[in-house]
Structure 1
Amino acid sequence: MQPATSPGSHDRRGAGRADDRVANRADDRAARVRFRRALTLMLMTLVLPGSAQLVAGRRDVGRIAMRVWFATLGTLVLLAAISWVWHGVALELVLNTKLLNLIRFAMMILAVGWAALFIDAWRLGQPLTLFRRQRLTAVGVNGLLCFTVAGALLFGSHLVTVHRDFILANFGNGPSADPSAGRYNVLLLGGDAGAGRTGLRPDSITVASIDADSGRTVLVGLPRNLAKFRFAKESVMAEQFPDGFNCDGCYLNGVSTWAMDNTELFGKSKNPGVEATIEAVEGITDLEISYWAMVNLEGFKDVVDAFGGVELTVRQPIPVGGLGSDVTGYIKPGTRRLNGHDALWFARAREGSDDYSRMARQKCVMQALASQVSPTDLIAHYGELTKAGSAMVQTNLPGSELKNFMQLALKAKDQKISTVSIVPPAINTGDPDLAKIKKMVADGIARAEGEGPKPGKKKAGKAQTINGGSLGTRNEGYQANESDDLASAC
């Protein structure tokens, strides 16, 4: 028999359990409020650094953080607006190595400071007052935000460092050259690196003559098999060959090899082969070379691939391989986007064509890259370009001149490119008329500046003759080798 209970005892126990449930629900509501507050403080730090500290009572820290944030944001907006109007400001920011050094350290400081604010926001959320699951969630959210934001800033700082090191490693630190007769003349050498060769053999030789104000460019192509030419007066090579480079088997692309075999003649020069080639080109064209760049054709493939290819018009099947090796395939005709491998063979293939058709195709590749690559492409693929560019280009262009040449490139992008080539039928490369060569170059530059005589028109019936993948023939002349509008000839 159950013992009798006193009256009212059931009511008291039921009331106690009800009070406990009410208290538990109140505790749950309070914990949820604290949890939401903790998450809100973290999100406030993400959107407006320092705002969490400001509302939580740490006003000094909050004010400092918000002032830094607004100053940083205002500076970025101001620089973006100025850069939109004056591109030179943007170029200064991305090409000045001292400014880049400041930017990378500023990004590292911002990363550390922002991470500290996230940690402080987590502390202000009173994590010890939360339930275990809420506490773990708060830790996870805070860690994700902290590492995402700080990691992005630190990765950005790393990219700035890579960019700065790329400029320092790949561009000279020597004095800048003044324009000659209002133009910068840049010698572009296509280097063919192969087994058993010392350095890069200049296999493609072009002078880009660039108007120092407008950026209007004339490409002067010199064949590698040019013979019996003279060097610039009072140069090292002119002293060695006072009657010109007219020995047996002496061609323009052999000048570099001769110089590399006689480096003692060039004193402390780091690039005697390039220096000797410059002396030859100056003697041939009467142009004063401002700077030079040696392009490794194998690295060229990686650069084209980094941009996602280049669009070219292939007029005939272009063989891959040949001339000492097997032809492994053909680049099919049509206007389409070629990858780095195919673009390289489009530019260098000689099987079934001649050197002069090859020169014409090379100019078409130059024109396509100049017109199709945009600043957006450069930014989007910068990581791949720095890797490819380090292996592709050697140059004496000083880093201090990068801004100037980038501005000229932007100006030249929407302008016509002219070409002058020292090739048949105008010039017999085995026994050239040196005076005629200099006149051809001078006239081509004068036409680009709107001063020279217009070239004679080709006969209409022969305009579409195609040989070696280029419009024209050796006897008629290839259109891309002699044009006041290279795009129309490609």
Structure 2
Amino acid sequence: MGEPRGTGVLERDVAEDTVRVDTRQRRGGGRDRRRAVTLLLLTLVLPGSAQVAAGNRALGRVALRAFGGAVALALVLGLVGLASRTALLTLLTHRVSLVLLQVLLVGLAVLWVVLLVDAWRLGRPDRLPSRDRRRLLVLLLVLLLVPGLVGWLGSTVGTARAAMTSVFGTGEAAGAVDGRYNVLLLGGDSGAGRIGMRPDSIQLASVDADTGRAVLFGFSRETENIHFRPGSVMAGLMPEGWTCGDECLLNALYTWGHDHADRFPAGTKDPGLLATREAVESLTGLDIQYYVMVDLKGFSSVVDAVGGLDITVQRRTPMGGGSREIFDWIEPGAQHLDGYHALWYARSRTKSTNYERMARQRCVVTALVKQLDPQTVLLHFGDLAAATKGVFRTDIPQDALAGLADVAVKTKQEKITSVNFVPPLIKPWDYDPAVVRSTVSAAIAASEKGPAAPKPTAASTAKAAPTAKSTPKPEASTPAVMERPGTDPDANTGDLASVCSAG
């Protein structure tokens, strides 16, 4: 006997009902999945909108106002920057502004995290299949990176504020003198075996306050026979000048000042610095507004903080020498130097003269300046701020940062003229001070005329100043005496550019 006819119809009806139920479940699951993803993406693009649509509307409205206000503030700052870069920098370097910015960024980051997690909850992950729940959780974790980045920016602002407070002081900003900012740049070395701190690198940066065109004047640390300006503190202490021969070198003034601090006027914060500053003022005829001192011992940490330096080395440079054996070499060619090797490259003395060493130090500093673009500073700011603690000293007040930063932006776009008072331009042990001052004036005048103007060179200046003294230095000397050109067959003192170049 065959099956009852109604049995087959019933089975087909049950199968069709099952298919329809499965279809509805799949469609419902797809809608739930899309809804959950949409809520998360809405919170990413417009924080608070998911709560207004499907959750706590009061929280959503607060969040929308908060993030809307942040966007409006960013737009206002952008407009201020377009109208006046100095005004924007003034706002962003003020202590109160930095505190408020840090609190704002950290607060927004925390609120954003709360909103994203709440949007994930509103998506009802418990109603989704296990595979979709896992995918939704992964999406949440990925999106949480965005508020994490905002919080990280807030922490870097706090690090910046702490670093600025520790490095830069308080007080009124000094104005430009004759339209120029003159900043004394000292590279000190407090390494092991050194008695006290003596500036190994002495340079003066003179920058046009309007155009940013700069001239960098370099002085040998062994410069002698310095007479101070009438009326200066050092002129009162040394009426005959710093003229005791090999013991009276330019860089030794720093130690002398600290050893005789009781002879300086009451309230002098750094007698050694004052002595060095007034010596360079006398040599150049320029008034110095600020100084910056970098301790070369800690310089390696700054180089490591920015990921190393790209330098084209022209001459093989030893690591070691002096009281220890040469244990390695920095070879010629394009090199990427970490902090350890960059410090050795800047400080190495063996098989070179102090003139070449000056060039290497200037090359390392130039490479660092070139590499400190906004992207590098942003990516490495935390490490950079930590590395600079104890490495930099300056009397630049925080209130002066905005104006100087604006000038620095212009300077970065210009080619810096460099003049070094070393042979063949002058002999640091025997020179005519008038030649130094006239060279300074000529270099500044050429710089102010723009890039097309002829720039003074060692040769041209020397020819234009036949009155410069040229008496040879006596052969007998103490160890502190200048290494004379030609003493070392491996040294190159005539062409400093042949030593290295910043990559």
When normalised by structure 2's length, the TM-score is: 0.78
Change (3 A) 1:286 1:127: same
Give the C-alpha shift of residue 313 in structure 1: 3.4
Deviations 1:18-67 (A, max 9, x none): 99998899788767755654454333223322222222275554344334
Partner in structure 1 of residue 150 of structure 2: 153
Q: Does 1:329 pair with 2:338? A: no
Query: Match for 2:39: what amino acid?
Result: L
Please tell me whether residue 389 in structure 1 is matched to residue 391 in structure 2.
no
Residue number in structure 1 paired with 2:167: 170
Partner of residue 241, structure 1:
238
> Relative to structure 1, is the Cα distance of residues 174 and 150 closer, same or farther in structure 2, using a 3 angstrom cutoff?
same
Distance 1:40 1:467, change over 3 A: farther
| 2:209 corresponds to | 212
* Matching residue within 43, 46, 70 for 1:45: 43
Please report how far the alpha carbon of residue 263 of structure 1 lies from its aligned counterpart in structure 2 after TM superposition. 2.1
The answer to whether the 8 Å contact 2:55/2:122 transfers is no
Q: Tell me whether 1:274 sits opposite 2:273 in the alignment.
A: yes
Count of residue correspondences: 470
Find the aligned partners of 1:444 and 1:87 in 2 and give their Cα distance: 29
Q: Distance in 1 between matches of 2:133 and 2:199?
A: 64
What SS does the corresponding residue of 1:391 show, helix, strand or coil?
Answer: coil
SS class of match (1:269): coil
Counterpart amino acid of residue 388 in structure 1: A
Distance in 1 between residues matched to 2:145 and 2:249, nearest whole Å: 59
Partner secondary structure for residue 299 of structure 1? helix
Distance (whole Å) between structure 1 residues aligned to residue 161 and residue 145 of structure 2: 24
- Show CA shifts across 1:381-424 (max 9, x none): 22222122223211111122222222222212232222222323
User: How big is the shift at 1:318?
Assistant: 1.7
Tell me the distance in 1 between the aligned counterparts of 2:161 and 2:48.
32
Measured at CA, do residues 298 and 18 of structure 1 come closer, stay the same or move farther in structure 2, by a change above 3 Å? same
Q: Is the 8 A contact 2:318 2:326 kept in 1?
A: yes
Note if contact 2:222-2:251 (Cα within 8 Å) is conserved in structure 1: yes
> In the alignment, which residue of structure 2 is the partner of 1:401?
400
Q: 2:186–2:293: 8 Å Cα contact kept in structure 1?
A: yes
Deviation at residue 331 of structure 1 after TM alignment: 2.0
Q: Give distance in 2, aligned partners of 1:457 and 1:280.
A: 22
What amino acid is aligned across from residue 52 of structure 1 in structure 2? A
Q: Distance in 1 between matches of 2:330 and 2:287?
A: 38
Secondary structure of the structure 1 residue equivalent to 2:389 = helix
Check conservation: 1:356, 1:478, Cα contact below 8 A. no
Query: 1:290 — aligned with what?
Result: 289
Q: Which residue is 1:56 aligned to?
A: 54
- Structure 1, unaligned stretches of length 5 or more? 1-7, 460-465
Please tell me the residue identity of whatever aligns with 2:385: T
- % same residue: 39
| Distance (Å, rounded) in 1 between the aligned partners of 2:263 and 2:458 | 47
2:353 and 2:492 in contact (8 A); partners too = no
Matched ranges for 1:181-260 at <5 A: 181-195=178-192, 197=194, 200-247=197-244, 249-260=247-258
Determine the C-alpha separation between the residues in 1 that align with 2:275 and 2:259. 12
Distance apart, 1:118 and its partner CA: 3.5
Change (3 A) 1:214 1:144: same
Tell me if the contact between 1:188 and 1:205 (Cα under 8 Å) persists in the aligned partners: yes
Q: CA deviation at 1:361?
A: 3.2
Q: Secondary structure at the match of 1:326?
A: strand
Letter in structure 1 aligned against 2:230: K
Contact kept, 8 Å, 1:111 with 1:154, in 2: the verdict is yes
Q: 1:470, 1:337 → 2: CA distance?
A: 27
More divergent stretch after superposition (190-199 vs 202-211): 190-199
Report the CA distance between 1:202 and its aligned residue: 1.0
Gaps of 5+ in 2: 1-5, 461-484
* TM-fit CA distance, 1:73: 3.0
Q: 1:23 to 1:446 in 2, by over 3 A?
A: closer
Question: Paired residue for 2:479?
Answer: none
CA RMSD, Structure 1 to Structure 2 (Å): 4.1
1:68 maps to a residue whose letter is A
**Shift in Å at residue 189 of structure 1?**
0.7
Cα separation, 2, equivalents of 1:120 and 1:306: 38
Cα offsets for 1:342-400 (capped at 9, x unmatched): 43333333322222232233333344444454222222222222122223211111122
Residue identity matched to 1:73: V
CA contact (8 A) 1:115 1:146 kept: no
Deviation at 1:447, TM superposition (A): 2.2
Report the alpha carbon displacement of residue 159 of structure 1 after superposing the two structures with TM: 1.3
Alpha carbons 1:223, 1:422 under 8 Å: kept: yes
Displacement after TM superposition at 1:167 (Å):
1.0
Q: Give, in angstroms, the shift of residue 166 of structure 1.
A: 0.9
Task: Report which stretch shifted further, 195-204 or 272-281.
Answer: 195-204
Matching of residues 420-435 of structure 1 within 5 Å: 420-435=419-434
Q: How far apart in 2 are the matches of 1:81 and 1:45?
A: 27
Distance 1:297 1:30, change over 3 A: same
Shift in Å, 1:293: 0.7
Contact 1:470 1:478 in 2 (8 A): no
Cα distance in 2 for partners of 1:239, 1:136 equals 82
Change (3 A) 1:374 1:38: closer
Instruction: Mark the CA change 1:480 to 1:139 in structure 2 (over 3 Å): closer, same or farther.
Output: closer
